[in-house]
Amino acid sequence: MRILILSFYYQPDLCAGSFRTFALVKALLDVSSNQGLATQIELVSTLPNRYSSFTSEAPALEKHPNLIVHRVALSAHKSGMLDQSRAFLDYAKSVVNLVKGKEYDLVYATSSRLMTAALGAYIARRIGKPLYLDIRDIFVDTIKDVLSRRIAWAMNPVFSCLERWAVNSANKVNLVSAGFLPYFRERYPSQTFVQFTNGIDDEFLIEQPSDNQGSTEKVLRVVYAGNIGEGQGLHAIIPELAKKYEGRLQFRIIGDGGRRGQLVSALDDAGCSNVILLPPIKRDELIKEYRAADVLFLHLNDYDAFRKVLPSKIFEYAALGKPIWAGVAGYAADFITDNVPNAAVFNPCDVDGASASFSTLEMVTKPRSEFVSQFSRAAIMQKMAKDIISLSEIE
């Protein structure tokens, strides 16, 4: 069985899509071996490019006994839509050239901004083989919030058409967040949807605490790690919130993104002295930062589209047993409230609500054994791998 995997990001890149695909590839190979299947995976991704401020060496071609990884070189780009569009065109052209004349039994594509899903649909239709889509965001729903009204109005029909074509081309669609289900079921009632969410990677599982550890620091350390973009809205919450807690909290913001400059300007305007901005770092260094934290911070901007998502960051945060301070709404808020003890949830961009919720946190690092056992990434990906392989029987 030959499986083609399309994932714009892959390890050692630093993002949820990269970590998810890496875990899935391992699971597919494990499940294939256990089932006695001769499986060959060909994966087409890109050279590390998630952040312009982070570079990591990776070969353009990587060969293993049952896995070939192609990493496409992209022209330099940042977080703007035009730059990202050019980067994706580079990727799409390379994918089409790389797969030309080859035979596959199954196409898998994982996508947050829709275009990789559409590319997967094109390839699958061209070779007449089943398509399994993994949807990590609702791009059509998101653009109305993060783009100007005029641009969103102009682009919505185009992306709606692409979404419809991609979803209807798939034999099965996985939705990373259960919050996506009402949107997709309403629009595509005849499609088969499954839900294999994100989970906790092994690097974080081995770091879970074995017992309770109280904090004795006078100035508590609050850590956020991840993208600094419009979707996270840190520029709309951190400056005022940090100013409110000067002398009591130190905020460490680790990452990069399209709104980093705006965050820096807002911090300067607020005169904050208790916020440290750090560039993206590798996972082993990130875990050290998490260990040194007293509280882990999470925030999504106050947009309707983000009420449906489930940030992957929740899983690694929760595994480490630290108190979690989360500015989220909708499905993510419900998920945290129902599943993560010692987590304080407040409405996005609400400084007073954030302050009130912070007072409910217990400054103790303690095991979340039930959560960890339920949301192991390896276990989730094993089930998803079996589901994907089952599609190879479709002709």
Domains of the chain: 2-199+376-393 (3.40.50.2000), 202-374 (3.40.50.2000)
**Rounded average pLDDT over 233-238:** 97
Q: What is the pLDDT of residues 236-272, one digit of tens each?
A: 999 999 999 999 999 999 999 989 999 999 999 999 9
Higher pLDDT, 111 or 50: 111
For residue 154, pLDDT over 90 is answered with: no
Question: Of the given ranges (89-93, 150-154, 223-227, 349-353), which has the lowest mean pLDDT?
Answer: 150-154
Q: What is the percent of the chain with per-residue pLDDT over 70, rounded to a whole number? A: 96
**Rounded average pLDDT over 288-294:** 96
**Rounded average pLDDT over 300-304:** 94
* Segments in the chain forming alpha helices (H): 16-34, 81-99, 115-127, 139-146, 149-169, 181-187, 202-205, 238-244, 260-270, 283-292, 313-319, 331-339, 351-358, 369-374, 377-390
Find all residues with CB under 8 Å of 268, minimum gap 6, and list them. none
State the pLDDT confidence band at 395, using cuts at 50, 70 and 90. Answer: low
Give pLDDT, residue 74.
Answer: 87
Higher pLDDT, 171 or 147: 171
For residue 83, pLDDT over 80 is answered with: no
Q: What is the pLDDT of residues 377-393, one digit of tens each?
A: 999 999 999 999 999 76
State the pLDDT confidence band at 54, using cuts at 50, 70 and 90. Answer: low
- Answer whether 0.85 is exceeded by the pTM: yes
- What average pLDDT does the structure give for the chain? 93
